[in-house]
Structure 1
Amino acid sequence: MQTVYNALINLSGIVLKSAGFFSGKLQKFTEGRKELFPKLENFCTHDQKRIWVHAASLGEFEMAVPVLKVLKEEFPDHQIVVSFFSPSGYENKKKHQYVDFFTYLPLDTPHNAQQFLEILAPEMAIFVKYDFWPNFLLELKRRKIRSFLISGVFKSSQLFFQSYGKWMQKSLQAFEHFFVQDKRSAELLKQIGFTNCTVAGDNRFDRVAAQLEGSNSIDFIETFKNDKTLFVFGSSWPADEALYIDYINKNPSTKFLIAPHEIHAEKIARLESRLKLQTVKYSEMKPEYLAKSQVFILDTIGYLGKSYSYADIAYVGGAAGNTGLHNVLEPATFGIPIITGEHIQKFPEALQLEKLAGLFKVSTASEFEKIAGKLLTDIEFRQKTGMISGHFINSNTGATRIFQEYISL
């Protein structure tokens, strides 16, 4: 099976080069890897110790940030190298305070794994969540490099747990220790002989909780809010807009901040055309209009996380349609109630919050109007719901501390 896998990986490399002509994303995938090894060699010219962290994409990188901070504290003389598999990760993270070098991960062939690790020569390797590449893992094992999995998630449907997946189980032997999110993952690993595992939780909770420690001040949002009730719509799509647009238009006494997931000019114009209240956009922001406007369209990136600190209620987009629910932990850390679309079944943290009554899912505009109206008018209900969200974050932090205690031994 390993031979078949290697043949398929080599074939995929050829296919991806051709597919790049038809897809901008696939073109970035292949073009970005062309100078991968020369760039890596150029960075690794200094005789310095290094730690390698691999994240599939941007979401997994954000999950790893608290661990990156710990690595810098525990190993100040080491360089931190982060690799991405996806262009959405690499293209959006060219610089970070805890990272010395970003790179793509080459395709998982035996030759690439050998060359990559020969050049990088890390003393430690850390994989995030579930991006397992057998040739890289087997090469890490062969070189006896300390390797860990953080925020790991295992499901019975994965190849490791199938009768024909024993060859993949061998690659897991590379990990000195597994830090997993839940008991089910630990149980699955135990079934195939791996007891070197700790249920540590999800590092994302540590990541969002750290937001409270820094400055979340944004002067233009503070001016816009003007001491009124603020409703923040984060990472929303057209399917989400269908739920809340009418409600916004009927409530001129409330402030609304909309942060669309897609900020293309034509989509922002479409959104703006549906709003009947006075609206101001970040891209055309005039300070004198901020306090007077009822709606603020955040047609830029980088401010949403801090924007939640000003919110009294949050709507998190992606679950009204099929694009996938965005991060509900970001608003929850500020202790505010959350509303989402109905499709949250694949997002455990949202399901847990809903069960605790810190999150409400809606499927229609009338359902949205009902719960939004109650949260806006019933202050005691809003505060209680927000406290549930904040407690949910606080009670689930600690995964990074468990990892730090292990590597400090």
Structure 2
Amino acid sequence: MKLVWVSIYNGIVYPLIFLLACLLSMFNGKLRQGISGRFNSLSKLNLYFKSSSPLPIVYWFHAASLGEFYQVKPVLEGLKDVKPDLKTIVSFSSPSGFNNAKSAAIDLKIFMPFDFPWSVRKALKVVRPKKVIFASYDIWPNMIWIAGWRQIHTNMFAARVKDGSIKLQPGFLNFYRSIYRSLATIYTVAEKDRKRIRSIVGKVTKPAIKVLGNPRYDMVMQSADDFTTEHTRSVLSREKRIIIGSAHGEDDQFLIPALAGFMDSHPELKVLYAPHEPSEPEIERLQARFSDRGYSATVFRKKKNLTLPPDPVIILGVVGVLSKLYWQGQIAFVGGGLSTGIHNVMEPAIARLPVLFGPKYHHAHEAEELLESGGGFCVTSQDEFEAVIQSLIQDDAYFTQASLAATDVIHKNLGSSTRIIRSLIRD
């Protein structure tokens, strides 16, 4: 049955994906960069390993984008501490990951080669990795199948399968079974993920499936260490500021009217608004929308000296500093939940902020935990957003309870990266 799926994928599915991506790339700059990067991946691998003699021990990590890289990073850096002679490749599917992922533990950064059988064979022949390791969900069938046939250990960590996933649906289940059964080991985020993946692979001894958690919690805690010591004062004593993180256009349809209304009735309230992509046209559009509501928005572009000015409305015009700025607020809304899926809810949670987000959060285990703990709130409309904000700003006891609950979610999930590193070395 597996060979049938291999034939269908290579003869029909992936060629169609490739052709569609090439067509769409004519209208999408990010897609165009990704395809161009994939065309260069094999030459980059050849050039890097051409001078490697003897061949090093290589671990090849793959992350879809920057968010998944934050799961890879603590594992990658921990492995390097334990095995300093290890060579590491990190591949990406998206330009946002490739362009922005940074770590001294990365020896070579590439786009994932095209998933054609010949491309994968060439890449694996050049690299000869000891292990190929996928973060979370972005798995490429030929890379897994062919690595397995070559006796290369393949792993997926921080693995999740949400309830109602297409992977569990008739017609798709057998296809994903052929992929998951080809992995050597799978490390899931939670027990419910282990059970769902077990239902996909069936009653077989391979792959070994363990519950080891999500290393992204460790990454967030590590990044926040400087700020947890610096910002020891109570959250209630901070500036009364709502921070909107990684907002999409769908979010600001109700956010901006709601925020303007709150500032009208609570003059002490301030807003930091961070668009997901702070391009000049987007910043100007947001300034115009706030202006329509009677507020002049200042643009903050500093990457150092991050103390925010006392202006009522600030638009963040740079990337890479939002996690630090959460410490200058009291409440956070994280965008994406009304469109493609929510962004990072851990950064505001570790900064002790109650976190609001839209309904598309089921890919994020941490969002589910925030909801269960009372530190997170799912809102689907302006009315719901206003009701939650009103409850938080008028009741200090309720606010403090939500703030502590948000931070506790991070603390109780620490240690995953150490467990994953230990298992990757031993398995």
TM-score of the two chains, using structure 2 as the length reference: 0.83
Instruction: Rate the CA distance shift 1:278–1:125 in 2: closer, same or farther, 3 A.
Output: same
CA deviations 1:28-85 (Å, max 9, x no partner) are 2322222221111111232333210011222211221111122211221012110112
Q: 1:277 to 1:353 in 2, by over 3 A?
A: same
Q: 1:143: which partner in 2?
A: 150
Render the CA deviation track for 1:329-369: whole Å, top value 9, x for unaligned: 21112222122345546654334322322122334444433
| Residue number among 48, 52, 67 corresponding to 1:46 in the alignment | 52
Matches within 5 A, 1:126-275: 126-154=133-161, 157-158=165-166, 162=170, 166=174, 169-191=177-199, 192-195=202-205, 196-214=208-226, 228-237=239-248, 238-239=252-253, 240-273=255-288, 274-275=290-291
Is 112-121 or 390-399 further displaced after alignment? 390-399
Distance between the aligned counterparts of 2:181 and 2:413, measured in 1? 28
Q: Could you say which residue in structure 1 is the equivalent of 2:112?
A: 105
Give me the identity figure in percent: 27
SS of equivalent to 1:132: coil
Distance 2:225 2:151 in 1: 38
Structure 2 counterpart of 1:384, which letter? Q
Question: Are residues 86 and 216 of structure 1, via their aligned partners in 2, closer, same or farther at CA, if it must alter by over 3 Å?
Answer: same
Aligned residue in 1 for 2:15: 10
What do the CA deviations read for 1:199-253 (whole angstroms, capped 9, x no partner)?
112222222222232458999xxxxx99533321111232333432322344331
For the residues of structure 2 that align with 1:267 and 1:54, how far apart are their CA atoms? 31
The residue that corresponds to 1:59 in the other structure is 67
CA RMSD of aligned residues (A): 3.1
Mapping 1:281-292, distance limit 5 Å: 281-283=299-301, 291-292=309-310
Pick aligned residue for 2:326 from 281, 302, 308: 308
Residue 91 of structure 1: how far off its partner (Å): 3.3
The residue that corresponds to 1:20 in the other structure is 25
Matched to 1:317, the amino acid is G
Shift in alpha-carbon separation, 1:226–1:293, aligned structure 2, 3 A? farther
Structure 2 spans left out of the alignment, 5+ residues: none
CA distance in 1, matches of 2:266, 2:165: 47
Task: Note the C-alpha offset of 1:198.
Answer: 0.7
For structure 1, the residue ranges without an aligned partner over 5 or more in a row are 220-224
Counterpart residue identity of residue 298, structure 1: L
8 Å CA contact 1:338, 1:360 repeated in 2: yes
Q: Point out the more displaced range, 366-375 or 296-305.
A: 366-375
Q: How far did 1:89 drift? A: 2.2
TM-score normalised by length of structure 1? 0.86
**What aligned pairs does 1:306-345 form with structure 2 within 5 A after superposition?**
306-319=324-337, 321-344=338-361
Q: Is the 1:249–1:277 contact (alpha carbons within 8 Å) kept by the matching residues of 2? A: no
> In the alignment, which residue of structure 2 is the partner of 1:32?
37
Decide whether aligned partners of structure 1 residues 359 and 154 sit closer, same or farther in structure 2, where only a CA change above 3 A counts.
closer
